[in-house]
């Protein structure tokens, strides 16, 4: 047996999140079912994180153990034939036997989309706001996040995590269209419901209901009740997960192949 990372994306509209649920469809369950059918044995996959109901992923990583003789490119094609149309596998990569999709991740990146006009083609993928927002002020508030590590105020209550500390690497709003904005946030880890709570509180700043200093006090309060309401999940996307190069055995194989071919540069 050998361990592989599965790179996939999904439209979360019809799912109760990534993680298997007792009474609802999940992306993890669909992927496990497809793998089990192909491998002809029960299969388990472990994801890089848990996305909530309705949340999308343009890139999720999961690991699983498969017979080392399997051709990864052929498996990608076969999986996509079995998976529903709102889930797609992009790539499967061989990794070390100890590699873990969740615990070895060095960062995760999310994006939240907002539109200020009615657009029928964005209704499942962006949150429409009706009041004007001051995105410059919202970026000033977002910069405050870099000064802290304890984000208890933005965490769902009664979770089983040992710490609420996270290291924020990037947090900024950018305009992507005439009426469209996206908030990109990257951290080494995220708490349950954290991104949606951060966005909801930043929107309070954008509506002039909360000052920059007030945003700072929300963080320092370490109290979920002090923060803003969580924004809807349908506009949230997991867009990237990072890992150390040392985990990927296929990178070594690519390097060897390039050396044999006399190439000085290899693309991952």
Q: For 6-37, how does the pLDDT look when each residue is reduced to its tens digit (9 = 90+)?
A: 999 999 999 999 999 888 999 999 999 999 99
Rounded mean pLDDT of 62-70? 91
φ and ψ of 232, to 5 deg: -60, 145
- Record the pTM: 0.90
Indicate the burial class of 25 (C-beta count within 10 angstroms; 0-12, 13-18, 19 or more).
Answer: middle
The pLDDT, as a whole number, for residue 159 is 63
Q: Who contacts 18 (Cβ-Cβ below 8 Å, separation ≥6)?
A: 26, 27, 28, 47, 49, 50, 51, 57, 60
Tell me, yes or no, whether 183 and 128 share the same domain. Answer: yes
Tell me, yes or no, whether 116 and 211 share the same domain. Answer: yes
26 in any annotated domain: yes
Res 122 pLDDT > 50? yes
The pLDDT, as a whole number, for residue 266 is 41
Domain total for the chain?
2
Residue among 148, 85, 102 at smallest CA distance from 247: 102
Res 100 pLDDT > 60? yes
Tell me, yes or no, whether 172 and 247 share the same domain. Answer: no
Rounded mean pLDDT of 239-252? 89
Tell me, yes or no, whether 115 and 222 share the same domain. Answer: yes
268 in any annotated domain: no
152 in any annotated domain: yes
| Domain housing 46 | 2-103+243-260
Residue scoring higher pLDDT (70 or 170): 170
The pLDDT, as a whole number, for residue 75 is 95
248 in any annotated domain: yes
68 in any annotated domain: yes
The pLDDT, as a whole number, for residue 85 is 98
Quick check: 174 and 181 in contact, CB under 8 A? Answer: yes
265 in any annotated domain: no
Quick check: 160 and 172 in contact, CB under 8 A? Answer: no
Q: How many CB atoms lie within 10 A of CB 207?
A: 16
Tell me, yes or no, whether 32 and 99 share the same domain. Answer: yes
Tell me, yes or no, whether 133 and 95 share the same domain. Answer: no
Give the residue numbers annotated as catalytic, written as ranges: 52
Tell me, yes or no, whether 252 and 181 share the same domain. Answer: no
Give residue 158's pLDDT band: very low, low, confident or very high (50, 70, 90): low
Give residue 151's pLDDT band: very low, low, confident or very high (50, 70, 90): very high
């Amino acid at each position: 047996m050998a361990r592989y990372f599965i790179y996939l994306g999904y439209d979360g509209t019809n799912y109760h999140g990534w993680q298997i649920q007792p009474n609802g469809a999940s992306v993890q369950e669909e992927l496990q079912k497809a793998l089990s059918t192909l491998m002809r044995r029960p299969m388990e996959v472990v994801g890089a994180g848990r996305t909530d109901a309705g949340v999308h992923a343009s890139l999720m990583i999961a690991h699983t153990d498969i017979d080392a003789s399997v051709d990864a490119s052929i498996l990608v094609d076969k999986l996509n034939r079995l998976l529903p149309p709102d889930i797609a596998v992009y790539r499967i990569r061989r990794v070390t036997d100890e590699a873990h999709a969740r615990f070895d991740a060095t960062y995760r990146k999310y994006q939240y989309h907002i539109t200020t006009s009615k657009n029928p083609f964005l209704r499942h993928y962006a949150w429409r706001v009706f009041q004007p927002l001051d995105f410059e002020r919202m970026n000033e508030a977002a910069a405050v996040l870099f000064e802290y590590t304890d984000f208890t105020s933005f965490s769902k209550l009664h979770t089983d995590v040992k710490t609420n500390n996270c290291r924020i690497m990037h947090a900024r709003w950018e305009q992507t269209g005439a009426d469209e904005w996206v908030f990109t946030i990257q951290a080494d880890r995220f708490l349950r419901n954290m991104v949606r709570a951060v966005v909801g509180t930043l929107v309070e700043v954008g509506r002039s209901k909360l000052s920059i200093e007030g945003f700072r006090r929300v963080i320092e309060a370490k109290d979920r009740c002090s923060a803003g309401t969580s924004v809807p999940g349908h506009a949230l996307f997991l867009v990237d997960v990072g890992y150390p190069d040392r985990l990927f055995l296929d990178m070594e194989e690519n390097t060897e192949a390039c050396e044999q071919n006399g190439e000085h540069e290899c693309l991952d």
